Amino acid sequence: MNKKRKMFIRMIVASLVRRRSRMIVALLAIIVGATILSGLGLIYFDVPRQMSSQFRSYGANIIIAPESDGDVSYEKLQKSITYFPSNELEGYTPYRYENSKIHNMPVTLAGTDLGSVLKTSPYWHIDGELPAKNGEALIGAKLAESLGISKGESVSTVNTFEITGEMESIDIPDYEKYTDPETGETHCDHTLDLTISGILETGGSEEEYIYISLEDVEYLTLSKRGYDIVEVSVASIKDKLSEYTEKISKDIDGIKAKLVKRVTASESSVLSKLQALVFIVTAVVLVLTMICVATTMAAVIAERRREIGLRKALGAFNSSIVGQFMGEGLLLGAVGGILGSVLGFLFAQYVSQHVFSSPITFRPLLIPITIVASVIVTGTACLMPIKSAVEVDPALVLKGE
């Protein structure tokens, strides 16, 4: 028994080595098939994750707002941020809106975290720079045009307060008290000087605001409070996003998290289409590659009818011939499957780095699947031609008909 097995292995190996060039050709076909299976498989599973971070260029997909009147306090914001897994959270930006005046024209100031604003609004086109420090401001293009302000200029925003008894005690240097001649009320103007570091172009309503740091807003309005709205950008699928928002709205009193429907609804529709596309493309390519592998194997075996005839003439049983050829086929399938899954991973990695500039998620399960699949395909492909080859009449084949 042991001897027989040894002989069997020796025959397979010898046959593969002797017929090197033909076997390499067959192996190549299997490798390409396995590469396509494992490569496209990896891409198929990774596309939603990779694409959904691309979709974040649409900006925030969740907003956190106060439940009714009021604001989102710093503590509540910090607490709600913990509900998002850190590997999915792209960024969040709080906004606090205040009315003020520039050149006696009413404007809206948006106090925000200027360091993180581009994470939730990556589509902002800034002519100039983002404000780097307090006292600098980013102005919307429309507002800049109507106020006649250009980049690099300095402007002053002025907030007017009515002086009440309580406030008169506050003593801040840039207070200028004056009395309105009509109403007789005492007012004071609190001024904040700003240097325009850049002009913001978005084509949307953002162009009508001035963006400054939260500290500047606090200084100008002499009041410290929470945020009017917080924009959050999370790279995740729609179902998970709604789960997060429901939890936050339920767990934390006084604030509610909402999906930006326009972004999330459309994103999931595009994403599912894209994944379906990769899936069906993989399926079509795979079926065709399998047929190619099968025809190659069929051709390789058909070529060896003479060898089969010779062995039969020497007294080999059909079963041992089938065993030998199947052994060869399965060995080729296994080797091709292993090499193919490595190459497929490299291909998927290349695609991922090239297209999405981030590494692909490795899925170990795909390796055994690829190997098993290529063994099965090669085995099935060998079965038919081996069967017909076994049925040959040794005399006819050896004579050369």
Smaller CB distance to other proteins: residue 263 or 339? 263
Smaller CB distance to other proteins: residue 132 or 281? 281
- Joined together, the tokens standing for residue 112 give 């925000």
Smaller CB distance to other proteins: residue 75 or 145? 145
Smaller CB distance to other proteins: residue 36 or 192? 36
Question: How would you classify the pairing of strands 175-179 and 186-201?
Answer: antiparallel
For residue 109, the tally of other CB atoms under 10 A from its CB is: 25
Smaller CB distance to other proteins: residue 79 or 114? 114
Smaller CB distance to other proteins: residue 224 or 261? 261
How far is the C-alpha of 72 from the C-alpha of 96, rounded, in Å? 10
- Minimum CB distance to other proteins, residue 75 (Å): 26
Question: How would you classify the pairing of strands 209-213 and 105-112?
Answer: parallel
- Minimum CB distance to other proteins, residue 362 (Å): 18
Do the Cβ atoms of 136 and 194 come closer than 8 Å?
Answer: yes
- Minimum CB distance to other proteins, residue 208 (Å): 6
How far is the C-alpha of 264 from the C-alpha of 11, rounded, in Å? 61
- Joined together, the tokens standing for residue 8 give 């069997």
| DSSP per residue, 272-313 | HHHHHHHHHHHHHHHHHHHHHHHHHHHHHHHTTHHHHHHHHH
- Joined together, the tokens standing for residue 75 give 């503590």
- Minimum CB distance to other proteins, residue 166 (Å): 26
DSSP alpha helix (H) spans, 104-175? 117-120, 141-147
How far is the C-alpha of 380 from the C-alpha of 383, rounded, in Å? 5
For residue 224, the tally of other CB atoms under 10 A from its CB is: 11
Smaller CB distance to other proteins: residue 108 or 154? 108
Q: What three-state secondary structure class fits 363?
A: coil
- Minimum CB distance to other proteins, residue 171 (Å): 32
Smaller CB distance to other proteins: residue 298 or 322? 298
How far is the C-alpha of 326 from the C-alpha of 324, rounded, in Å? 5
- Minimum CB distance to other proteins, residue 371 (Å): 18
Do the Cβ atoms of 248 and 89 come closer than 8 Å?
Answer: no
- Minimum CB distance to other proteins, residue 280 (Å): 5
- Minimum CB distance to other proteins, residue 109 (Å): 11
Question: How would you classify the pairing of strands 136-140 and 186-201?
Answer: parallel
**Cα–Cα distances in angstroms (integers) from residue 13 to residues 113, 211, 328, 381, in the given order:** 68, 74, 8, 20
Smaller CB distance to other proteins: residue 2 or 21? 21
Q: What type of residue sits at position 399?
A: K
End-to-end, the C-alpha distance of the chain in Å comes to 37
Do the Cβ atoms of 99 and 277 come closer than 8 Å?
Answer: no
Smaller CB distance to other proteins: residue 59 or 333? 59
How far is the C-alpha of 254 from the C-alpha of 70, rounded, in Å? 8
- Minimum CB distance to other proteins, residue 294 (Å): 10
Question: How would you classify the pairing of strands 175-179 and 105-112?
Answer: unpaired
- Minimum CB distance to other proteins, residue 169 (Å): 31
